[in-house]
Amino acid sequence: MSAQSQISPDLLTIATIKGLAIDAIQAANSGHPGMPLGMADAAYVLWQDFLRFDPAAPNWPDRDRFVLSAGHGSTLQYALLHLYGYDVSIDDLKQFRQLHSKTPGHPEFGHTVGVETTTGPLGQGIANAVGMALAEERLRAEFGAEHVDHWTYTIAGDGCFMEGVASEASSLAGHLGLGRLIVLYDSNHITIDGRTELTFTEDVAARYAAYKWQVLNVEGTDLPAIREALTAAKADTTRPTLIVCDTVIGRGSPKLAGSHKAHGAPFGVDEVAATKTNIGLNPQEFFAVDPSVYAHTRGNNAARADLRQDWEKRALSAKGQSLVQRLNPDLPTLAAQVAWPKQDVGAQLSTRKGGEKVMAAVGAVVPQLLGGSADLGHSTFTEITGGGHVQNGNWLGRNMHWGIREHAMGSVSNGLAAHGGHIPIASTFLVFHDYMRPANRLAALMGLQVITVYTHDSIFVGEDGPTHQPIETIMAMRLIPNTVVLRPADLAETAGAWRVALLRGKAPTILALTRQNLPELAREPALGDSVVAVERGGYVLRQEKAALKLVILATGSEVHLALGAQEQLEAEGVGVRVVSLPSLELFEAQSAEYRKSVLPKGIARLSVEAGTTRGWERFVGEDGASIGIDTFGASAPDKVLAKLFGFTTENVIAKARALLG
């Protein structure tokens, strides 16, 4: 690279970042070259002069967080990780988008070292970054700036700012005054279909000023101006900052710069060569890094390690060790300390109110827990009693006023969990899971301990009508991998569901709770601790007395109907077993022997759940039957709806008799 000897270290490094990015994309014959070429300058300034990290200890708790919200530009992040000394090699860059590589098409949390959150669905990264900044504020308020003193940076593109989740999260960030959050906006005015003017003509800067953000503008290749803007952003800790970087997509490409054609496809061999020539690289070299670039980017790594080691010394203090424990909780020990609430058999209580009792007990011993709902605290009962609420200047509250922002609530909660030190609770009515499904899915993909509490879990919402009555939702949530959905039948199962959620650690859990009161159920003495029984997902709640002819499987509010039917049928000499299945996923994870002991082969089965019957066939078999609802509900009192749709003990008995012939 002798021809490059006259290029400044800054410009040579930026050119190298661009070269690595387009080489990786060309090698894969797949990817998004335009964004890395347009945003490399600003990203370089951030990483070289502002971002605090240590590649030798990538999970150092007080590191700055970097989020690539525009995750399609992943080769930009991979090139930076490589150049600054993370465990991402040239060979890894050559394996971009290949099976089992460290460099997947979009950044994945827990897969590639240095990636703080999984991005790709646009706008999610901004919302995650808001959660990380919120986590930092809360921990710094409790443990002090000597232990918690970092910043959250994100790079976002035009598409991110079109997505509603970014708007909701940014509105919340401005309200809270999250001054240690800085967003660099890759404003290149291009999306896949063409110029943003096709659909997006609003003034984003004015919108963010209205959100109470500091807004700064720079030219995307003006390195001194970018440094000045980042310095100004850090100087104002009273509000988050948006730095609008005017960029050109595919900058450096002779034919494709500024065109939507640069967005989502490799340039081709000839245009890659022409681009390299244009930016001062040798077109005949591939994945090339001049030794001086490594010296430049990694030259400060010793100083970066010193900062981390200084923090580790301070963390030896009593308060520092408390922070370490907060970030690395011993969940089994905490669960053992919870005084799980109980009530008398027959007592009437909705599982949402039962959940409130359980949350109070869990919150008393689990400081990581952060409650909250989407403006429904008086309906979902998901506030930690006496915990106060987080507001600007009151970071130690135990509950969040999320506002009517379900999209943001789920995605900001993911950021809180990814940051560490928090087990966030996101809560709303079950029917609004559709607003939160992207966040629930990403929590599962990342393995984040986020607890989502959905109440008003069926048609028994009643008079609010079919718009608020979830039918297909429970079964749809069960389709998300790495997610456990629990629909408890009474206070004991609600406590068990919360125990599961607490012990699952790096995985999300969803609870579906009732609006209406349910009776506390009697259990077989041989069952043991009913709270612990829930971890098996399904168990024999009531054994048969006569020779077994039928197994009734039920969840949540329908379990007591199954018990009523059993009582009548047993009186007629028909042996009936009642199985409570609070979690289908946990039950299916049990051994074949256990599942067979609960659901013996050759015995007729009838399922009862106030939701779709689709999906139950794998439990009841071809010869079984299901009581459910495969239409929309109706506006009427819950007892009227129960009779209309067949959720009565009498109908369960009738279906059982028909099934048994």
Q: Are residues 645 and 548 both part of a single domain?
A: yes
What's phi and psi for 364, nearest 5 deg? -65, -25
The residue among 505, 450, 448, 142 whose CA lies nearest residue 323 is: 142
Indicate the average pLDDT of the chain.
97
- The interaxial angle of helices 649-660 and 559-571, nearest 10 deg, is 60
Contact call for residues 502 and 335 (beta carbons, < 8 A): yes
Task: Give the mean pLDDT of 90-102.
Answer: 98
The span from the CA of 384 to the CA of 365, in Å, is 11
Is 530:520 a contact under the CB 8 Å cutoff?
no
Q: Measure the CA–CA gap between 441 and 350, rounded to whole angstroms.
A: 28
Same domain, yes or no: 546 and 513: no
Query: Do residues 494 and 567 share a domain?
Result: no
Please give the Cα distance from 409 to 422 (Å, whole number). 14
- Statement: residue 524 has pLDDT above 90: no
The residue ranges of DSSP E strands in 487-590, in sequence order, are 509-512, 517-519, 539-542, 548-554, 575-580
The reply to whether 264 falls in a domain is yes
**Tens of pLDDT, residues 297-354:** 999 999 999 999 999 999 999 999 999 999 999 999 999 999 999 999 999 999 999 9
| Model pLDDT, residue 529 | 85
Task: State whether 561 and 446 are in the same domain.
Answer: no
Task: Report whether 157 contacts 69 (CB < 8 A).
Answer: yes
SS3 for 399-465 is EEECCCCHHHHHHHHHHHHHHCCCEEEEEEEHHHHHHHHHHHHHHHHHCCCCEEEEECCCHHHCCCC
pLDDT for the residue 303: 98
Partners of 486 in beta bridges: 511
| Cα(454)–Cα(483) distance, integer angstroms | 14
Separation CA 558–CA 627 (nearest Å): 10
Full domain range(s) for residue 646 = 536-660
Q: In this structure, are 117 and 207 located in the same domain?
A: yes
What is the 8-class DSSP label of residue 558?
A: G
Whether the per-residue pLDDT at 238 is higher than 70: the answer is yes
pLDDT at 2: 43
Classify residue 315: in a domain, yes or no. Answer: no
Catalytic (active site) residue 406: yes
Instruction: Find the mean pLDDT for residues 185-200.
Output: 96
Q: Which residue, of 462, 488, 519, is where some domain finishes?
A: 519
Percent of the chain residues topping a pLDDT of 70 = 99
Residue 4 predicted with pLDDT over 70? no
Q: Is residue 318 part of a domain?
A: no
Q: Establish if 527 belongs to a structural domain.
A: no
What are the pLDDT digits (tens) for 255-277? 999 999 999 999 999 999 999 99
Q: Cβ(86)–Cβ(114) under 8 Å?
A: yes
Q: Which two tokens stand for residue 317?
A: 């203090």
Nearest to 513 by CA among 531, 490, 541: 490
596-638: per-residue pLDDT in tens? 999 999 999 999 999 999 999 999 998 999 999 999 999 999 9
**Same domain for 488 and 554?**
no
CA 18 to the chain's CA centroid: 31
Write out the H or E segment, with its range, that includes residue 105: none
Domain ends where: 486, 519, 552? 519
Residues 256 and 295 in one domain: yes
Per-residue confidence at 108, pLDDT binned at 50, 70, 90?
very high
Give yes or no: residues 356 and 423 share one domain: yes
Q: Is the pLDDT of residue 385 over 50?
A: yes
Catalytic residue among 116, 136, 271, 406: 406
Q: Distances in Å between the alpha carbon of 395 and those of 65, 94, 390, 392?
A: 19, 45, 5, 7
The answer to whether the Cα torsion of 512, 517, 518, 520 is positive or negative is positive
Write out pLDDT tens, residues 536-564. Answer: 999 999 999 999 999 999 999 999 999 99
Residue 575 sits in a domain whose CATH number is 3.40.50.920
H or E element, residue 198: none
Q: Give CA–CA dist 35/222, Å, rounded.
A: 17
pLDDT for 433-454, tens place per residue?
Answer: 999 999 999 999 999 999 999 9
| Final residue in a domain of this structure, among 491, 519, 547 | 519
Of 214, 490, 138, nearest to 347 by C-alpha is 490
Domain count, the chain: 3
Contact 224, 283 (CB under 8 A): no
Which residues in 87-112 are b (16+ Cβ under 10 Å) and which e? ebeeebbbbbbeeebbbbbbbbbeeb
- 1 has pLDDT over 50: no
One domain for residues 249 and 361: no
For the CA atoms of 630, 633, 638, 643, the dihedral, rounded to the nearest 10 degrees, stands at: -50
- Note whether 217 and 288 are same-domain residues: yes
Establish if 317 belongs to a structural domain. no
CATH number of the domain bearing residue 396: 3.40.50.970
From CA 447, how far away is CA 603, in angstroms rounded? 38
Distance CA 272, CA 283 (A): 8
CA distance readout (Å), 121 to 69, 70, 160, 161, 434: 8, 8, 8, 12, 16
The reply to whether 58 falls in a domain is: yes
Instruction: Identify the three-state secondary structure at position 81.
Output: helix
The DSSP string of 154-168 is EEEEHHHHHSHHHHH
Q: What is the DSSP letter of 557?
A: G
DSSP 465-511: -GGG--SSHHHHHHTSTT-EEE--SSHHHHHHHHHHHHHT-SS-EEE
Side chain identity at residue 368, one-letter code: Q
- The rounded Cα 229 to chain-centroid distance in angstroms is 31
- Is 301 within the bounds of a domain? yes
Kindly state the DSSP code that residue 521 receives in the 8-state scheme. P
Q: Which DSSP string corresponds to 588-632?
A: HTS-HHHHHHHS-TTSEEEEE-SS--TTTHHHH-TT-EEE---S-
The amino acid present at 402, given as its one-letter code, is: W
Predicted pLDDT of residue 530? 83
In a domain, 316, yes or no: no
In which residue are the tokens 């490799």 written? 266
Q: Are residues 497 and 540 in the same domain?
A: no
Is 82 a residue whose pLDDT tops 60? yes
Burial class (CB in 10 A: 0-12, 13-18, 19+), 525: exposed
- Binning pLDDT at 50, 70 and 90, where does residue 5 land? low
- Same-domain check for residues 496 and 555: no
Element (H, E) at 182: strand 181-187
Handedness of CA 92, 95, 97, 100 (dihedral sign): negative
